[in-house]
Every structure is written in structure tokens, then in C-alpha cells.
Amino acid sequence: MSIQELPSSVEFKTEATQQSVMRGCLGLNGLRKLRSDIQSDVVTAELELAFGIDEGGWSFVKGQLKTELELVCQSCLEGLSHVINSQFQLAVVAEPTQMDTLPDNYEPLELQDGLIDMAQIIKEEILLNLPFAVKHEQAACANKFTESKPTRKAFANLQELLENNNGCTKKS
Ligand SMILES: [Zn+2]
């Protein structure tokens, strides 16, 4: 069975009223602009989304996100696969005053002309789920000298980084 491609934007009110459930994948691009240690510029996210309106009247979308990114280890500057498997709950906030009463279990969601920009939301979720500093487990890291020679290694890495960035259009 092939995985369905989800729409990149969705009419939120319709889906919430119909309590729609969607499963599929969504292609994301432009991630490297958001964080420099992301190597994969095009990523496919697997999603399960459930729309609805809760008893408090909040229109929500609950989601499960699965994806895998290629990142750069900040210690050895080699590639590192990072799996994200996270859940999120967003509720529509139509005006700023609603922020005060938004229940704690929701993150606020702003609509653009009634539409939910799926790609934007999922990209934000991915960023929220990335560690601040990405590193291999120590045993798997190519940089074995972090403790003893931090300065020299840091310079070696800097040189490597400059070379890699110099006109490099390597596909990830
Ligand atoms: Zn490493």
C-alpha cells in the first residue's frame, strides 16, 4: 500500500467540524535555512492527524510525527541520523486574548485565512524536537580527543567546515 501524500494546507474549520483523521506523508524542504546543522534539505515526515473541537470549544489538531533527519555532529562534524517520533496538540487561537485561556495541553495555532499551513507547522515541530547540540554517543563519535585536545581539534574541524562550505553543492 502506498502512503498518501497529505495536502500542504488544509481548511481547518471543515476538518475540525468533520472530525477528520488523516494519515500520510508530507514532503518538507528548506530545513537547512532553519538550522545550519541539518544536512537533509528535503525530508519526508510521516503523520497521523486527528482534527476536532473539544468540550471547551477549542478547535484542535492532534498529531503524531515520525521522521528522520541527517544532522552534523558538533563534535566530529560527521553525519548523524536523528529520528524524531513525537506527538503534538495544537488549538486555534483566533485572537491574542485567547492565549490567556488556552489550556496547557495545547500549543497555539494561528490560521492564515482559515487555512492551516501543514508544512510550516511540521517544520516547527521538527525544530522543537531537535536537541540544542547534536552529538554522537561518545563511543560512536569520530572525535576521540574531545577531552584531551579540544583546541587543536576545534581548529581542524573549522578548517574542514570551511572547505566543505566552499562551493559545495553535494546532495544530501
Ligand atoms: Zn561525532
Cα–Cα distance between 135 and 125 in angstroms, integer? 20
* CB atoms near residue 82 (< 10 Å): 17
* Interval between CA 140 and ligand 1 midpoint (Å): 7
CB neighbour list of residue 15: distance below 8 Å, 6 or more residues apart: 22, 51, 61
Cα–Cα distance between 20 and 13 in angstroms, integer? 10
146 in Cβ contact with 44 (< 8 Å)? no
* C-alpha 78, offset from chain centre: 21
pLDDT surpasses 90 at 41: no
* Interval between CA 172 and ligand 1 midpoint (Å): 18
Which one has a higher pLDDT value, 152 or 43? 43
pLDDT of res. 147: 55
Task: Report the pLDDT averaged over residues 159-171.
Answer: 55
* Interval between CA 42 and ligand 1 midpoint (Å): 22
pLDDT of res. 96: 87
pLDDT surpasses 50 at 168: no
pLDDT surpasses 60 at 169: no
The mean of the pLDDT values for the chain is: 86
pLDDT of res. 154: 57
143 in Cβ contact with 153 (< 8 Å)? yes
* Interval between CA 73 and ligand 1 midpoint (Å): 5
| Inter-CA distances, 151 with 145, 147, 163, Å | 10, 10, 19
